[in-house]
Amino acid sequence: MIAAMVVLTYTFVNSIEPAASPSGTTSADGPPFPTSPTSSTTTLPAELAAFMVTLDIIENQATAYGDAVDRINTDWDTRAALFAETRTAFLDLQTEIADWEIDVVAQAQDVPSILAAGHVQLLIEVSHLAPKVEDIVAGLEAPGVELRQAAVAEFQEAVQEVLDAIEAIRETARAGGATTTTTEGDGTDA
């Protein structure tokens, strides 16, 4: 997980446009995009951009948990895994999600104040994931497939709520923290 965070941070930092120097020029050679009479570039302040990397990591992990639930459930449905293996896999995943909630999402560093309310909502949505896995296990232990299938669907809905909370934070960052730089072009496209 730490390696993934480092890779995502490195990728994000390298994709950020160079900042303008006091003289008004950038450190890159030429304009970053074809120029028209006027071009605009929107950038986020550094603290917001850094937190966007954290959100990317959280988003990737939430998606991975949704995929893991589907994979474990499919393995049980196709009998590629035994009951004990399936139950253990779900319980291990529940523990992993609970740890992730506390160690990663709740402990996110340097949450910008403009995004604090969104982060709290994200924490609330993430807190629903581990109990939903417990419901899946209860459905697995129950006769029939209805309870388990319903619990899996509810888990996926909870993952989507997490993803929606992340997108709401991004929207807040774009709306409240973005600055737009307008540059006059020479009227030609590169």
Facing residues of 109 across strands?
A: none
pTM higher than 0.95 for the full model? Answer: no
- The architecture of the domain spanning 48-176 is Up-down Bundle (1.20)
Q: How confident is the model over 123-133, as pLDDT tens digits?
A: 999 999 999 99
pLDDT the model gives residue 31 = 46
Torsion of CA 10, 46, 31, 20, to 10 degrees: -130
Which segments in the chain show pLDDT lower than 50?
Answer: 13, 19-23, 25-28, 30-41, 180-183, 190
Residue 161: predicted pLDDT? 98
CB 48 within 8 A of CB 177: yes
Other Cβ atoms within 10 Å of 95 Cβ, number = 12
| Domain segments of the chain as ranges | 48-176
**Paired tokens of 87:** 């139950």
Provide the 8-state DSSP code for 25: -
